[in-house]
Amino acid sequence: MSIPNFLYKKNRILLKELTKTDFKLRYQGSALGYLWALLRPLMMFGILYLVFSVLLRFGSDIPHYPVYLLTGTTLWSFFTECTSQGIQAVVQRGDLLRKISFPKYIVVVSSTLTAVINLLINLVVVVVFALINGVMPSLGWLMVVPLILEFYCLALGIAFLLGSINVKYRDIASIWEVLIQALFYAVPIIYPITMVASSSTLAAKVILLNPIAQVIQDVRYFLITDQAVTTWSFLNNPLIKGIPILVVVVILILGSLYFRRKSKFFAEEV
């Protein structure tokens, strides 16, 4: 076996073991254990559905609104978990980084893959709810795969960038928690984008240029209803339609490059 193949196999095994360890530790000591992977987004969905659908009557014009809302909260939970865990990954694995020499990106990827596992579990629940709610399966469901990949690349890029900064400035993780709360209301998770468009078309266009909103609306379109407003259906300029994907690519590249440049100092700073 050549040295590159040996190192590749070693890194792959390390990534697998760290991912398994992260997933187990996430729910260690809790009474419900792995069930929290399902219960957390479902509880969030239940509260939002009660307040905004039952009491405030949001989404009455959207087919299958309960599944529409569940899809949004599931994807949002994934993004929140993926970025938050990824930002903290290097600091939390400080002891390991000081003892063993290996590519530092593995600790970030392993922590974010735990969020991916939770997302896959929750998407099974979403599909079951969709079928119960009368959503008909279609080939369009296959488009969810590249959209999830795009969403993961965005979260991973943010984790690389902010995680690198968080090694030296530990306030970054706390600041991100505040920003993520504000960002929750800046994307159409609870409210339909048509509500914004009725007041300001420009505001609706700006929201849909956010890659988070773009992915969530696209998943809703392909998985639930073709009445979901998407970036590519709402915007006319084909160049502008590509902005969300361009943002994802730029964030992933910048985050990766910055992480690579700073990773050589992680063992000294954590």
pLDDT category, 27, cuts 50, 70, 90?
A: low
Q: What is the mean pLDDT of the chain?
A: 84
Tokens of 218: 């696209």
Q: Where are the alpha helices (DSSP H) in 133-170?
A: 144-168
What's the average model confidence in pLDDT over 56-66? 72
Residue 46, both tokens: 């239940």
Tens digit of each residue's pLDDT (9 = 90 or more) over 70-81? 899 899 989 999
Residue 49 token pair:
């559905």
Top-ranked range on mean pLDDT: pick from 33-37, 101-105, 198-202 = 198-202
Q: pTM for this structure?
A: 0.88
Of 174, 209, 207, the C-alpha closest to 189 is 207
Q: Does the structure show a pLDDT above 60 at 56? A: no
Q: How confident is the model at residue 194 (pLDDT cuts 50, 70, 90)?
A: confident
Per-residue pLDDT for 57 more than 80? no
Between 137 and 6, name the one with better pLDDT.
137
Q: pLDDT tier at 227 (50, 70, 90 boundaries)?
A: confident
Tokens at residue 212, please?
Answer: 């988070």
